[in-house]
Amino acid sequence: MAIIINEKTNVIVQGITGNQGRFHTCQMLAYGTKIVGGVSPGKGGQEVEGIPVYDTVYEAVDNQQVDASVLFIPAPFAKDAAFEAITAGVKVLVIVTEHIPVHDEMDIVELACRKGTTVVGPNTFGIVSSGKCKIGIPPNQFFVEGPIGVVARSGTLTYEIVGNLTANGLGQSTVVGLGGDRVVGLSFVDVLEKFEKDPQTRAVVLVGEIGGNAEEEASLYIKKMTKPVVAYIAGKSAPPGKRMGHAGAIIERGKGTFNGKVEALQAAGAKVATLPFEVPELIRQILK
């Protein structure tokens, strides 16, 4: 099983002829992702790594079965590209691009919601159903199939934790990057609900950070879950009022603090790791 994407997911890459698009198309193919096409306006008819390039998403959809699209499109043009994919009927949209204006993000998420498209991101590393399909940018070698679901707000920190899990013999069902921006397509709860139903997933790791109230909202659902949850929250040492890189990672007016999140998660029955490398041991204790 796994969630959202699997070995049968047919993927297109929007922006496939750009630097990042090209590099990560190679990496995704190496991981085993079924990439069926790329889109790059004005470059239709070319090939990248043997993958046909189309001028528009509509053209790609006319020629291929397309289940998902990943965007390697600069921020000023991302909304247009996302609207194109959503209206063309693509059901899973992974938006890697960072620095998309928040009003564009609200527009994208709203349209996706109406059209029934799942949006992963923006400002995400993507999503990996380990051993089956990777859509996005994480390094291949750390993602190995197994029973742990991972859901996170941030990218590299997730690699850190997934790397630790894999090094300790704990593979993953699916690893989902929600994205670091204030407005993103999926919430922790959306993903936790899917992990709860997924037969492959036996335990879930939640990687959160200071700011906002996503972890507190997740706690309300964790209380109802049958599967165990281990969490790590980044930003314990962050001073209030300073935005720590991500749009949402800021402690404002005493809200979104580390302690508040940890207390909410613990009260819901989740185990909280102090440092990232403790996560595998906590999982191991639970799964014994």
Residues 72 and 96: beta-carbon distance below 8 Å: yes
Phi/psi of residue 207, each to 5°?
-110, 105
Smallest separation, CB 65 to another protein (Å) = 28
Give the residue with the Cβ less far from another protein, 134 or 202.
134
Q: 233: closest CA among 122, 144, 129, 157?
A: 157
Residue numbers of the site for another protein (CB under 8 A)?
20, 24, 27, 75-76, 98-103, 106-107, 109-111, 114, 125, 137-139, 152-160, 163, 180, 182-185, 187, 207, 209-210, 212-214, 217, 232, 234-239, 242-249, 253, 274-277
Phi/psi of residue 285, each to 5°?
-60, -40
Give the residue with the Cβ less far from another protein, 10 or 22.
22
Smallest separation, CB 70 to another protein (Å) = 13
Residue ranges of the binding site for substrate: 159
CA distances from 186 to 24, 132, 179, 191, 218 (A): 23, 21, 9, 7, 12
Dihedral over Cα of 190, 92, 78, 173: its sign: positive
Q: Which two tokens stand for residue 253?
A: 């007016």
Per annotation, catalytic residue among 24, 99, 103, 246: 246
Smallest separation, CB 68 to another protein (Å) = 19
Residue ranges of the binding site: 17-20, 43, 96-98, 159
Give the residue with the Cβ less far from another protein, 47 or 252.
252
99 tagged catalytic: no
Smallest separation, CB 279 to another protein (Å) = 11
Give the residue with the Cβ less far from another protein, 24 or 202.
24
Written as one string, the DSSP assignment of 87-129 is: HTT-SEEEE------HHHHHHHHHHHHHHT-EEE-SS--EEEE
Phi/psi of residue 43, each to 5°?
-115, 10
Give the residue with the Cβ less far from another protein, 103 or 197.
103
How many CA atoms lie within 13 Å of 146's alpha carbon, on the beta-carbon side? Answer: 20
135 forms bridges with which residues in the sheet? 127
Examine residue 122 and say whether the peptide bond preceding it is cis (omega within 30 degrees of 0). Answer: yes
Smallest separation, CB 184 to another protein (Å) = 8
Catalytic residues: 246
